[in-house]
Amino acid sequence: MPEQQVGNQGEAVSPPEDLVPSQELITFVLGGGDKADFKRAGREYFGFFTELCGLQPHEHVLEIGSGVGRKALPLTSYLNSEGRFEGLDIVPEGVEWCNENISARYPNFRFQVADIYNTRYNRDGQVKAEEYVFPYEDGSFDFVFLASVFTHMLPEGMDHYLGEIKRVMKVGGRCLITYFLINDEARGLLERGESKLEFPYDHGDYLVHVEEDPEGTIAYREDVVRGLYEKHGLVIREPIHHGLWAGREKWLTWQDLIIADRPG
């Protein structure tokens, strides 16, 4: 996957330096990485959006878990005046930075705080993930994406979110979501100690990295996830793009990536 951003005229572009958060904010919101990692991840996901998902400049985009704009920034050079970007996140500091630095320059980009309870990121949240209603009308978006969201969410929340994702997607829309998925290959790599991330605590449908902090890092059985997509009427584009985390020799990115469509 080419790691470059493509502007409206097809040229390679990068966000201005003043549109990159401070190292302190990157560490606070994202938990690690430096400015170079921040830019690299944005370029990588821009490639996924345009090359794998066919994102067009005029389309309406929703990111759940928008953080400090890491994946939104490349789209400021791509979405045209008809395009629209909405971001939701549970960390107010990230949303504030995005509104002050991105929305101020690009009025078709907007970010909101989702006051959802999370044991790691928002212990004061007022709403449970399994009860949260996305603040958008039905059929509002051509493309919805979530990166490193369901890797921190328990099953009831993930099930509910998939229903909300389906609701706000237009007919013919698509979504991209990342996971840690447990299938036969991943389980074998885990058992042989070849995985780069361990999930020693098995809760049946899902496994966790740290028992005392289940929302810290969660892996789901692939068949369970497939069943939820079927339940909510989302059709997975095969094959699933499995990631490096399990120690695979062939991979696309760190996490497993599922692209799915909402059929008519």
The amino acid at residue 191 is E
Compute the average pLDDT of residues 6-18: 49
If you average pLDDT over every residue of the chain, what do you get?
92
Question: Are the CB atoms for 116 and 91 separated by under 8 Å?
Answer: no
* Helix intervals (H) in 121-205: 155-168, 184-191
How many other β-carbons are positioned within 10 Å of the β-carbon of residue 31?
10
pLDDT of residue 140: 98
Residue with structure tokens 């090359």?
A: 51
Tokens linked to 195: 């995985």
Residues in the chain: 264
pLDDT of residue 9: 36
> How would residue 202 be classed by pLDDT, with cut points 50, 70 and 90?
very high
pLDDT of residue 2: 32
Strand partners, 178: 257
Structural domains in the chain, sorted by start: 5-261 (3.40.50.150)
